[in-house]
Amino acid sequence: MKKLLLLAWLLPTAFLLRAEPLQLAHLFSDHMVLQRETAAPVWGWGEPGKTVAVEGSWDGLVVKTRIAEDGSWRVTLSTGEAGGPYTLKVSCGKESLTVSDVMLGEVWVCSGQSNMEMPMRGFGFQQIDGFRDNLLEAAEYASRIRLFDVKSDTTHVVQRDVENVWEYTVPEVYSKTSAVAYLFAKRLTRNLGVPVGIIVNAWGGSRIEPWMTMEAVENAGISEADLAMIRELHETAGLYPNGVATCWSGRMAPLAGYAAKGFLWYQGCSNIGQDCYDLLQASMVRLWRDAWGRGDLPFIYALLAPYDHGTADGRWRPKFVETQMHTQELIAKTYAVCLETLGNEVTIHPPRKQEVADMMALRALSSAYGMPVGMTVDYPTPKSIDYLEDGRVKILFNNVWSNLQSISSRGITGFELAGEDRVFHLAEAEVDWDGQTVYVRCAEVPAPVAVRYSYRNWMGANLQTSYGIPVPPFRSDDWPL
């Protein structure tokens, strides 16, 4: 009887201690792209205490490690020049795994909310410009642009893995792929001549806080009042879409460390009006870089494009864009791209995603890859503002290597002037022959003391360089809005 009782106790214990079979994280699947010319972590799980051997066929070197007590293992492989297809082999005793069709190339992690999530086929009643042309070319790029599209749920519990696999962007996959990520990858593969892997991890409607840990929020340097509001939102929001760390725990933490060249971020609509967003965004970047073990990974992000936001004459969008822009001053190698001429008054999801991707690709090629692109990719900003005796305002711009002009090359829209009464009136503007100076005047404001540009939610502002780099919102005053 005692032996039976002992056996009954040992059986469930033995079951609990039974090692799981040799596994790789789902990121390491057939058709994957590994970042070229770097130290690329590879990880998985197996029986504690045993030795795992990992080999990449690009160099034939075998890296070994012992499986930890919690069943996890991790090695780092050196990757060479772009190329493939290669194989990745993992073995542990009699167990073995082989990953086929591995390419060495460029990898970017693409995250944010619905404007990053928006697929090439668009949303209901909201299209993507150029969908058909790109669809007809999709087969040509299918093996050169590879997708890992994260579909895991949000959670408060940090997950170790996500159940997705790498895919070719064949036409049916292309159609459901993030437009910004896909079009960005297409520009990269054409300019660099290498395969590009895009890890798309976007959640429509999400605020920035779900993509951060609570510790990162608390260490962002925000005020106690802002912190209290975020904690209250977290306690009442649940998992979707605003609970702190819910996207981080379920969707981003399992990816952390996968060798990549940088991050693309297209988010902000759900945080509009939040004055501490720049501090939160800087803290999120630090969190991600720490998790990836790379403190210098480029972070390229989109500024909010113009949109009605309920009231076209409202001024909370441009004020928020100012806050977004400030992140660049807080943390190195963060790059904002301006979308000021790419918005749409009636949809928060502007269809001109090709231009958004182009802005990001130009920044990546210039800043992440050091390629000469024949132009400045920095957006123009006022260098000096002078109020002339004849009632005009003279604005000299930085970062203008070509001429300033309106989209239509005719009238410039988006400027306002105010006098001592602080009442703003729409103003006329023209570019001087030097291509860097704009003169602004308004008959209703004979003695202006303040000038604003594109400082409403929507006003059809159209000033840009002849290279197509838009001028972001700005104002000379600090008056309450």
User: How sure is the predictor about 17, in pLDDT bands with cuts at 50, 70 and 90?
Assistant: very low
pLDDT at 446: 97
Question: Is the domain defined by 106-368 classed in CATH 3.40.50.620?
Answer: no
Mean pLDDT of 199-210: 96
Pick the CATH number of 19-104 from 2.60.40.1930, 3.40.50.720, 3.30.300.20, 2.60.40.10: 2.60.40.10
Question: With left for phi above 0 and alpha for psi between -120 and 50, is residue 302 left, alpha or beta?
Answer: beta
What DSSP string describes 416-473? EEE-TT--EEE-EEEE-TTSSEEEEE-TT-SS--EEEES-SS-----EEETTS-BPPP
pTM of the complete model beyond 0.85: yes
Residue 95 has a CB neighbour count (10 Å cut-off) of 14
Residue 405, helix vs strand vs coil: strand
Residue pair 306/461 in contact (Cβ under 8 Å)? The answer is yes
Residue 26 has a CB neighbour count (10 Å cut-off) of 19
pLDDT tens profile 439-481: 999 999 999 999 999 999 999 999 999 999 999 999 999 999 9
pLDDT tens profile 242-269: 789 999 999 999 999 999 999 999 999 9
Percent residues over pLDDT 70 in the chain: 95
Q: What is the mean pLDDT of the chain?
A: 94
pLDDT tens profile 334-371: 999 999 999 999 999 999 999 999 999 999 999 999 99
pLDDT at 401: 76
Q: What is the DSSP letter of 155?
A: -
User: In the numeric block, which tokens belong to residue 141?
Assistant: 């790029």
User: How sure is the predictor about 189, in pLDDT bands with cuts at 50, 70 and 90?
Assistant: very high
pLDDT tens profile 108-122: 999 999 999 999 999
pLDDT at 235: 84
Residue pair 243/237 in contact (Cβ under 8 Å)? The answer is yes
Cis peptide, bond prior to residue 306, ω within 30 of zero: no
pLDDT at 7: 40
Domain regions of the chain by residue span? 19-104, 106-368, 382-475
Taking 80 as the threshold, does the pLDDT of residue 38 lie above it? yes
